[in-house]
């Protein structure tokens, strides 16, 4: 049984996120739902039309719940509320030897390339490992590429929230010296299974990023993250979402000097 909590993903336009006691209150039109703050890991706002009350922000801060905005039009992830947990990773990165950075980079990229190569063989798509978006555009069309980018945005959003909750600044990066460097790097481990497989294997498409399309994308993404796969390291099945948290923790431990280093999970 999983002990990792799921994030609350808000998709509806014109929403209002408030609070009542220790529960979040989500209002859309004439309907409302309540969610206990202790039951979620974070709040991902996958909408650009809505409001968040001060009481909801304070409730999130009390429970150390990150609130992350997913700007689907520009494909950006913006943290609104960070966890109160902080770690000394920023200082450690300054003393982190270049060869250790390179070792982790190679491990992540090898995991990504192996996953993409498996998809390439399975679905007979040459070049998927080198230039996946071009191959998808050429063979499956623009709707497939849009779906890939939006699923990747959802993955970035959840990874960003998990890192913030664990005290890891998502913007540092090992080799991607840019916004969300750590997030974009570690997401490579999960992109073959979470982002590309549903589009290539299941025919998932996104013709336009409307409220209804985003709802379908969010449901598909959450379904994927709840799927279980066998983890040989743990000798049991784990949800993809659980593995995502484990990868964040493993990376933090490696950055803090764990003698075991970092070895990404391979699906």
- State which of 81, 101, 131 marks the end of a domain: 81
How far apart CA 106 and CA 234 sit, in angstroms, is 23
46 DSSP 8-state letter: -
Same domain for 25 and 123, yes or no, is no
122 — alpha (psi -120 to 50), left (phi > 0) or beta? alpha
- The residue whose two tokens read 């990150």 is 66
Are the beta carbons of 70 and 153 closer than 8 angstroms?
yes
Q: Give the separation between CA 104 and CA 254, rounded to whole angstroms.
A: 9
Asked if 30 and 15 count as a contact pair (C-beta separation under 8 A), the reply is: no
Taking a C-beta distance cutoff of 8 angstroms, is the pair 87, 47 a contact? no
The sign of the dihedral angle between the CA atoms of 165, 166, 168, 174 is negative
The reply to whether 94 falls in a domain is yes
- Confidence band for 81, pLDDT divided at 50, 70 and 90: confident
**Contact yes or no for 232/247 (Cβ under 8 A):** no
Looking at the fold, whether 35 and 13 belong to one and the same domain comes out as yes
Q: Which of 75-84, 124-133, 140-149 has the highest mean pLDDT?
A: 140-149
Give a yes or no: residue 2 inside a domain: no
What is the Cα–Cα distance from 109 to 102, expressed in whole angstroms? 10
Name the E strands within the chain.
Answer: 8-10, 15-20, 23-28, 31-36, 43-45, 50-52, 67-71, 76-81, 228-231, 236-239
Q: Considering the domain boundaries, does residue 76 fall inside one?
A: yes
As a whole number of angstroms, the distance between CA 216 and CA 202 comes to 14
State whether 126 and 208 are in the same domain: yes
Q: What is the mean pLDDT of residues 52-76?
A: 94
Instruction: State how far Cα 139 lies from the chain centre.
Output: 26
Let me know if residue 267 belongs to a domain: no
- Here the tokens at position 137 are 């555009």
The total number of structural domains that make up the chain: 2
Q: What percent of the chain has pLDDT over 70?
A: 93
- Residue ranges making up the domain that contains 244: 89-255
With cut-offs at 50, 70 and 90, classify the pLDDT of residue 82: low
Do residues 122 and 247 both lie within one domain?
yes
Give the pLDDT confidence score for residue 18 in this predicted structure.
96
Query: For residue 91, what pLDDT is reported?
Result: 52
Residue 247 and residue 117 in one domain: yes
Residue 1 covered by a domain = no
Same domain, 73 and 109: no
**Residue 115 and residue 241 in one domain:** yes
Q: Which of 81, 111, 145 is the last residue before a domain boundary?
A: 81
């Amino acid at each position: 049984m999983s002990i990792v909590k799921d994030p609350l993903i808000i998709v509806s336009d014109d929403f209002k996120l408030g609070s009542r006691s220790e529960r979040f209150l989500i209002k859309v039109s004439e309907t409302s739902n309540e969610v206990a703050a202790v039951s979620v890991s974070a709040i991902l706002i996958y909408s650009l039309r809505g409001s968040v009350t001060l009481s909801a922000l304070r409730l999130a801060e009390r429970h150390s719940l990150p609130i992350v905005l997913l700007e689907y039009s520009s494909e950006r992830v913006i943290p609104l509320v960070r966890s109160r947990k902080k770690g000394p990773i920023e200082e450690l990165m300054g003393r982190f030897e270049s060869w250790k950075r390179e070792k982790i980079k190679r491990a992540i990229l090898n995991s990504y390339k192996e996953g993409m190569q498996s998809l390439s063989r399975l679905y007979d798509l040459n070049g998927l490992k080198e230039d996946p978006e071009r191959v998808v555009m050429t063979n499956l069309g623009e709707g497939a590429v849009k779906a890939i980018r939006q699923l990747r945005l959802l993955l970035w959003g959840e990874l960003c929230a998990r890192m913030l909750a664990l005290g890891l600044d998502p913007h540092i990066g090992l080799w991607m010296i840019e916004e969300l460097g750590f997030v974009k790097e570690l997401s490579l481990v999960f992109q073959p299974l979470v982002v590309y497989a549903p589009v290539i294997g299941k025919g998932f498409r996104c013709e336009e990023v409307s409220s209804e399309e985003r709802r379908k994308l969010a449901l598909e993404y959450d379904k994927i993250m709840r799927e279980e796969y066998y983890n040989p390291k743990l000798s049991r099945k784990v949800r993809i979402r659980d593995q995502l948290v484990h990868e964040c923790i493993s990376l933090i431990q490696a950055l803090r000097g764990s003698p075991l280093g970092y070895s990404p999970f391979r699906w």
